[in-house]
Structure 1
Amino acid sequence: MISCILLAAGKSSRFGSPKPLAPLGPKTVIEHIQERLLLTGLSEIIIVLGHKAESIAPFIYKGPRVKSIVNTDYALGQTSSFKAGLNAVSPYSEGIMLLPVDMPAIQPDTIEELTHIFIKRAPLILVPSYQGHNGHPPVFSKRLKEELLCMENDEPLSTLIHKHEAEILKIPVDDPGVTASFNTPEELQLLIRQIS
């Protein structure tokens, strides 16, 4: 079983308003991502809220595979939100996928491909790449859970990824969405054109 932690806790300072609530077609970014994730075989989707959690919560889907938690320490850094999500992951999960909310262009087929490869090959870390560039979502083995939980809240996850560079399974995918994120309204408009 593979769990996905969807990070939606940040302040979105450069965007100017909460990224999860940005319009993407007729829905919000967070609704769009949830719909895509629910098309896959992921066992659970854990959405980590923080900044403006009360405004975002009504857009969280109800269902057995989706749950949300609030990281009150979200201002300490993205790793603090990932750790909050890790603490909510099922003990039966073999792998933990990490997806930031500002990457809504990833295709469900890509998530499925990464999930199947992870289950089949059981690497320590799986990382998708597009045209030679590493992207999201990485998938971490449950063997790394304690090490991840011991990271400092403001320590970038790339530190741990570099530490285990030799044990990373890199998977080339035909999906530009794995490297496409947005930080400004203009970048979101570019992504919308890419998704359309």
Structure 2
Amino acid sequence: MNNIGIILLAAGESKRMGSPKQLLDIDGKSLLRRTAEVALATDCYPVVMVIGANKAQIAPEIIDLPLTVIDNPMWHEGMSSSVKMGLAGLYMTYKDVDAVIMLVCDQPYLSVSLLERMIDVYRTKKPPIVACKYGEEVGVPALFDRKLFEELLTLSGDKGAKPIVMNHLDEAYLVTFEAGSVDLDTPEDYEAFQKG
């Protein structure tokens, strides 16, 4: 059986939200904790969380969870720096990882069943990438086979791992996640989400 790790990217400043979106309340839990608990409910190991901006406020939310928490002091350089820090944290925790799932913490409809579907696709079909499709968009959560780790380490800027997905789209397996289009970036997004 393939060993799959998870990197949860949570280092962003939440500039458009005006306060740390990682701490938004979703059914009595912070968005950050909820996402971490979804990741931990899978059979993936290790689960690495990358924090950075607002870390003093955010860290207490997950202090009691069995995560590898990595502080990214370069968070202001964009999501690519967190991807690299997450891969380093993954490698420091457990070297024998066959693939990694990249998660962000602003998708409130992320579920264990979605991640399990992605894992099942990877284990049975062996594509180099399993990404999510919502509407015309392709994005996270996204699973990357270890043969793409080196390419992930070449990322720069704030695009995250999407350029790698797009470079290999013809080889990628896409899993439908219509609710993936809901991400909480602004107070208006959060208000609309709360209204359902």
TM-score between the two structures when normalised by the length of structure 2: 0.88
Give the secondary-structure state (helix, strand or coil) at the position aligned to 1:151: coil
| 8 Å Cα contact 1:106/1:176 also seen in 2 | no
Give the secondary-structure state (helix, strand or coil) at the position aligned to 2:76: helix
| 8 Å Cα contact 1:134/1:179 also seen in 2 | no
Cα–Cα, structure 1 residues 96 and 14, in superposed 2: closer, same or farther, change >3 Å? same
Percent identical among aligned pairs is: 28
Pair 1:70-2:71 in alignment: yes
Tell me, in whole angstroms, the C-alpha distance in 1 between the residues paired with 2:160 and 2:40: 28
Pair 1:31-2:1 in alignment: no
Q: How far 1:193 moved relative to its partner?
A: 4.7
The aligned runs of 1:96-107 (5 Å cut-off) are 96-107=100-111
Give the secondary-structure state (helix, strand or coil) at the position aligned to 1:47: strand
Give the secondary-structure state (helix, strand or coil) at the position aligned to 1:166: coil
Give the secondary-structure state (helix, strand or coil) at the position aligned to 1:51: coil
Show the counterpart of 1:129.
Answer: 133
* Letter paired with 1:31: R
Give the secondary-structure state (helix, strand or coil) at the position aligned to 2:43: coil
* Letter paired with 2:164: L
* Letter paired with 1:67: T
TM-score between the two structures when normalised by the length of structure 1: 0.88
Q: How far 1:177 moved relative to its partner?
A: 2.9
Cα–Cα, structure 1 residues 30 and 154, in superposed 2: closer, same or farther, change >3 Å? closer
Tell me, in whole angstroms, the C-alpha distance in 1 between the residues paired with 2:175 and 2:159: 25
Show the counterpart of 1:81.
Answer: 82
Q: 5+ unaligned residues in a row in structure 2: which ranges?
A: none
Pair 1:108-2:112 in alignment: yes
Tell me, in whole angstroms, the C-alpha distance in 1 between the residues paired with 2:192 and 2:33: 19
What is the CA deviation profile of residues 1-49 of structure 1, one whole-angstrom value per residue up to 9, with x for unaligned ones?
1111111101100000011111222121111112222222222211100
Which of 184, 189, 192 is matched with 1:190 structurally?
Answer: 192
Q: 5+ unaligned residues in a row in structure 1: which ranges?
A: none
Tell me, in whole angstroms, the C-alpha distance in 1 between the residues paired with 2:80 and 2:150: 14
Which of 144, 149, 163 is matched with 2:167 structurally?
Answer: 163
Tell me, in whole angstroms, the C-alpha distance in 2 between the residues paired with 1:105 and 1:67: 23
What is the CA deviation profile of residues 50-98 of structure 1, one whole-angstrom value per residue up to 9, with x for unaligned ones?
001121111115344x111100000001011111001111321111111
Give the secondary-structure state (helix, strand or coil) at the position aligned to 1:167: coil
What RMSD, in angstroms, separates the aligned Cα atoms of the two structures? 1.9
Cα–Cα, structure 1 residues 189 and 2, in superposed 2: closer, same or farther, change >3 Å? farther
| Number of aligned positions between the proteins | 191
Pair 1:93-2:97 in alignment: yes
Q: How far 1:124 moved relative to its partner?
A: 1.1
Tell me, in whole angstroms, the C-alpha distance in 2 between the residues paired with 1:87 and 1:26: 32
| 8 Å Cα contact 2:139/2:162 also seen in 1 | no
The aligned runs of 1:43-54 (5 Å cut-off) are 43-54=45-56
Tell me, in whole angstroms, the C-alpha distance in 2 between the residues paired with 1:127 and 1:160: 11
Tell me, in whole angstroms, the C-alpha distance in 2 between the residues paired with 1:115 and 1:99: 13
